[in-house]
Amino acid sequence: MDISKVYKIFETLLNDDFSMIYSGVFSNSIITSLTDLIHSFMTDPNVDLKQLNKKVAYMTIENFQNILRYSDTGKAAVPEKDMLLIRMYNKNIFIITVNLIHNSKIEKIGSYVDKLNKLDKKELSELYFDRLTNQAFSAEGGAGLGFIEMIRKTKNKLFYKFLPFNDEYSFFYFQIQISSKKVINKDVNLLDSVSDIYNTIKNMGVNFLYKSKIAEGRLMPLINMIKDAVKSSSDNKNDTNILYLRNLLNISVEILQDIFITARKSELIKDAIFIYGLNSKTGNYYFLASSLVDEYIIKRKINIINKYLDKDKEKLQNIFLEALLDEDTPDEELRFLGIFRNSDNFEYFVDFQDGNKTFFVQKVEVTK
């Protein structure tokens, strides 16, 4: 896996105040964790978007239900994953979904959304109540009420596109935009850039991606989201080893702590990316973290990493125990020792941006 590709994601999402991607098994617990994590950002006093919190949560759930209604991903012969992407910048929140649908649905969905986008407020309300009272429910359920509600609640157009997958199925890209009252740039279409993001995360086996400014209030919701993502992706009976799952979670916490502690020491860190995914070649899960770091900090990190990177597990265990008893051992060194002794295949990537900041990526793979 080429971990330098993370920088491409970082560049694409660079201007986002908050970005989150989930690609995997959708369940009620996953949606609850996703909305909790969004809530932690929306209610941050520095963000000033508390008034949109309920609307964003509602629209996220509505989009989740749309995936359940219209997705044919599980029916395709070649395995694919549905994706939910949430992006926020310039006081706009974009909720985007990607899933496979049967080609027979394309014309019906496209023409219906086109029709809705042309209706005014009064016409939308009339159509909504007509569908509701006449119970014109389709085979997929909902009578198309979800699409109508999205336009009514957001006052923005819906954007979509279809990309061929094979002779039978196509990718259905769908976007809603929620704007604060202060925003005038309405009806912004981000779907072209999403195609590249989807292909990148698919190739990297990404299950969950989080990109945001470092803030203490988001740590626990993020850990809970990771916990549910790990459980969800490990529902396979071959992956239910409790010790393995516990090890996955412990290492994720170690990496998150490294990001948060490093952020306190560096004025340059504004954003970080955290990824949980599956290496398809090895069948092992991995965690990846990246951020911009002060140059003097990255040099110290690399020295610590190279000091222990090639040590075997038995030596690492002995070194770790000795380091615990040594009061002079830096906490950062203990964190990396804790990561190395419980994992395999540690990689890092460094890209010097200019004279005083560095893009640093660290990836830890956990062998079953």
Question: Do 308 and 319 meet the contact criterion of CB atoms below 8 Å apart?
Answer: yes
pLDDT tens column, 36-75: 888 777 777 666 666 777 788 888 888 877 777 777 877 7
CA–CA dist 63, 147 (Å, integer) = 9
Among 5-9, 28-32, 182-186, where is mean pLDDT lowest?
182-186
Overall average pLDDT of the 82-88 stretch: 89
Residues of 352-362 as b/e, b for ≥16 C-beta within 10 angstroms? eeeeebbbbbb
Phi then psi dihedrals of residue 40, to 5 deg: -65, -30
How would DSSP label each residue in 133-154? Answer: HHT---TTSGGGHHHHHHHHHH
Does residue 238 carry a pLDDT above 90? no
pLDDT tens column, 149-176: 899 888 899 999 999 998 999 999 999 9
Supply 115's token pair: 């029709």
Does residue 350 carry a pLDDT above 60? yes
CA–CA dist 47, 206 (Å, integer) = 27
Does residue 139 carry a pLDDT above 50? no
pLDDT tens column, 324-342: 999 889 888 998 998 888 8
Give the confidence band of 28 by pLDDT, cuts at 50, 70, 90: confident
Give the confidence band of 143 by pLDDT, cuts at 50, 70, 90: low
